[in-house]
Amino acid sequence: MHGRTRNQFYTGDADWAAIARVKDAVGVPVFTNGDITSVADARQALALSGGDGVLVGRAAVGRPWLLGEIAAALNDRAWVGPEADERCDAAREQLASSLDCYGPRKGLLNFRKHLAAYLTAEDVARETVSALCRIDAPADLDAAIRTVWPRHDMERAA
């Protein structure tokens, strides 16, 4: 359940407490959704809604490991975040899946918004993000992705 009305669309904050009224009224499991972007949000959303679990949408775009981080925290398991090469691999794997699923043209176009999210989460310069999002050949894009992560990590370490 997304804690917003239809008319709100994505304005305002999701109302996690309102979901508690749904939870009380129905006899099926209720999953709490809307504006959950971290472990702390997930905990608070569950505390306020009494939900049986959380669902995360936008915050996982470009950061798919967030789901593992939240799942580990809610189940009292240790969690180690992905290293730069694993984050790079995640983006490359998603590019490959997108191409497989939608074909070369639509697959590449569809992937661009995800790539922008991955790179923005890495603090990559906006011009670099734009440059990568203009690459038209899937193989060139894959090669460019491989160069961005290590280079970026070296810049950070310097």
Ligand X SMILES: Cc1cc2nc3c(=O)[nH]c(=O)nc-3n(C[C@H](O)[C@H](O)[C@H](O)COP(=O)(O)O)c2cc1C
Binding site for ligand X (CB under 6 A): 2, 33-36, 56-59
Residue nearest to ligand X (CB): 57
Kindly give the residue spans of alpha helices, DSSP state H, lying in 13-75. 16-25, 39-49, 66-74
Q: How far apart are CA 61 and CA 118, in angstroms?
A: 7
Give the residue with the Cβ less far from ligand X, 6 or 80. Answer: 6
Min CB(103)–ligand X separation in Å: 20
Q: How far apart are CA 46 and CA 158, in angstroms?
A: 41
Min CB(3)–ligand X separation in Å: 8
Give the residue with the Cβ less far from ligand X, 1 or 88. Answer: 1
- How do beta strands 31-33 and 53-55 pair? parallel
Give the residue with the Cβ less far from ligand X, 37 or 128. Answer: 37
Min CB(153)–ligand X separation in Å: 28
